[in-house]
Amino acid sequence: MPARAIVAPINFTDVTGLPVINVNPNPLIPGASYEWRAEELPLGLVYKWQDRITGAALQAAGTDTASQRPEVVDLANAVRVVRFDGSNDRMFTAMNMTTPKTVIVVGRLRTNAAVGKWLVNSGQSGTQYLHIGTDAVGGAWTSNAGSSLTQPGTVDTNMHAFITVFNGASSVVSMGGVEATGTTGTNVPTQLQLGASSSGYADTDIAFLAVLPFAATAAQRASIAAALTAQYKL
């Protein structure tokens, strides 16, 4: 019998320095260039969260100390999330995301009626480059890349699927399949961050994060919303 080889994508971004074999590289969302799924992480503190497509790692800030790491936990409905404590946990990775793009996040704020809190952002100081979270005034959901576009839905502590098409004046925000259109601006972020922004930390749970290098169509957004609702019991 001839010898056979098992071929799998390999990267060397694990904190141990040992090779990591990505045995499930196909994205949940077709066309995604980056995708992070909490259900693929073991329970406990996490230092690096690898994108399942390229191996790019969201990494905890500072040195590899337990006090700065978020924690992987299971919610009551068995959905696995990465939990940020709102005190000193954050993860980030360098990333240039030109316009148009679609950013998708499944997550929640753990503090009810929180204002100025972010599920995902660029972490860059000054003007907004990429922001999906609540505004600094009334606590409405917004997406912002230089201009704020209010997202449908009440700010609460439930898990939601947020889909934002960052496409200048033709942007779209979606929460639970309910959409609004307008402008988000065209600023280009140079990194992606969870758990904090340049102005503070946020106590959040994140189950899923993806970036599409294009503006998702209405049909694609509906398909994405349906897939995320089923996968994460929304």
CATH number for the domain spanning 217: value is: 2.60.120.200
d(C-alpha 88, C-alpha 65), whole Å: 11
pLDDT of residue 208: 97
141 within a domain of the structure (yes/no): yes
d(C-alpha 68, C-alpha 146), whole Å: 29
9 within a domain of the structure (yes/no): no
d(C-alpha 176, C-alpha 154), whole Å: 11
10 within a domain of the structure (yes/no): no
d(C-alpha 163, C-alpha 148), whole Å: 15
d(C-alpha 27, C-alpha 22), whole Å: 12
1 within a domain of the structure (yes/no): no
4 within a domain of the structure (yes/no): no
| Per-residue pLDDT tens listing for the chain (234 residues) | 444 444 344 443 344 444 444 445 578 898 999 999 999 999 999 999 999 898 889 999 766 677 789 999 999 999 999 999 998 889 999 888 889 999 999 999 998 767 788 899 887 665 677 889 888 777 789 999 989 999 888 888 999 999 999 999 999 999 988 999 999 999 888 889 999 876 788 899 999 999 999 999 999 999 999 999 999 999
6 within a domain of the structure (yes/no): no
Domain that holds residue 69: 23-231
pLDDT of residue 4: 46
Number of domains in the chain: 1
pLDDT of residue 6: 41
d(C-alpha 146, C-alpha 151), whole Å: 15
17 within a domain of the structure (yes/no): no
213 within a domain of the structure (yes/no): yes
pLDDT of residue 181: 97
pLDDT of residue 15: 41
d(C-alpha 121, C-alpha 129), whole Å: 8
d(C-alpha 200, C-alpha 177), whole Å: 29
Residues with Cβ within 8 Å of 84's Cβ and at least 6 positions away in sequence, in order, are 70, 90, 91, 194, 195, 196, 201, 202, 203, 204, 205, 206
Residues with Cβ within 8 Å of 61's Cβ and at least 6 positions away in sequence, in order, are 68, 88, 90, 91, 92, 196
DSSP H or E stretch at residue 227: helix 218-231
